[in-house]
Amino acid sequence: MPESKPTGSPSPQSDSSSASGSAMESVRGHARAALDRVRGEVTHVRDVHGGWLSIPGVRIVLWVLIGAVVLFAGRSLIPRWGGGAASGSGDARTPTATIQAACTVKECEAVFAAEVPMDWKPGRLSCVRCGKASAMRATRCDACRKLFANAESEVRCRACQERERAATQPAKKPQGPKGDDADDGW
């Protein structure tokens, strides 16, 4: 495509801008040539070396192989990184569980950690303080957050229940002087 040249009388500004304009045209020409060379190389590589990747069956087999390699590599590396329950890891199941237990005897009310078998059915345990089979799984009080023995499906411990009862009972009137002296303000 032929380039159009400006018409009219040349001015001093057009002489200096034409020199820089021709330099810009030269740079643009070199950039176009380089871009054409890169496009040609990409087309050549795609046609000669990448033709077999355009077959859908080949791509499917390739993705299956890549997936299998990732799966097997992941299964062998994850236990080494600390995950999973591989042999010798610290995450292996234990035969016992640790629970918080509390004694139901009013005089004792001991709270302690107890080791129970994994197949333990909730029931009575022997108390570590009084020795009686009166301990059971402990419950945390909703009011004071203290652990207590929950025999009657309560949500608050005995101390909080007593405080609540005392707060809801009407206050007793003060007992003062009776009779004539009660009316005297002095």
Distance between CA atoms of 67 and 60, rounded to whole angstroms?
Answer: 11
- Please give the helix or strand (H or E) that residue 98 lies within, else none: strand 96-103
Residues 148-175 have a mean pLDDT of 79
Whether residue 84 is predicted with pLDDT greater than 60 in this model: the reply is no
> Residue 136 in 3-state DSSP?
strand
How do residues 100-155 score in pLDDT, each as one tens digit?
888 888 888 889 998 888 887 777 788 888 888 888 888 888 888 888 887 777 77
Residues 57-61 have a mean pLDDT of 87
Distance between CA atoms of 33 and 40, rounded to whole angstroms?
Answer: 11
Residues 47-74 have a mean pLDDT of 82
- pTM for this structure? 0.41
